[in-house]
Amino acid sequence: GLTEEEALSAGHKVKIFESRFRPMKLTLTDDQEKTLMKLVVDAHDDRVLGCHMVGAEAGEILQGIAVAMKAGATKQAFDETIGIHPTAAEECVTLRTPTR
């Protein structure tokens, strides 16, 4: 998908949804590792233009999101999806308020 900068350069008006969180599986440990997830959404048609993640299992999670994006998924489709709990992947369907 597109980065925020690429989307803006291509003429898209974007909404950005971001989350920084400590994965649930680490809450019973001393590990303070954080995960970052970011969705880049077209403000005009609600299509998800990009998804970026840094953290554990990012590759596993992003593979499924890439398929959804290739199929033209909208932010509304993400919002209407029930997340699998407890997983880091559920964060991508619970991002509700744009950070910018």
Q: What string of DSSP letters covers 18-67?
A: EEEE--GGGTTSS----EEEEEEEETTT-BEEEEEEESTTHHHHHHHHHH
Active-site residue, 44 included = no
Q: Could you say which of 12, 44, 52, 85 is catalytic? A: 85
* Active site (catalytic) residues: 85
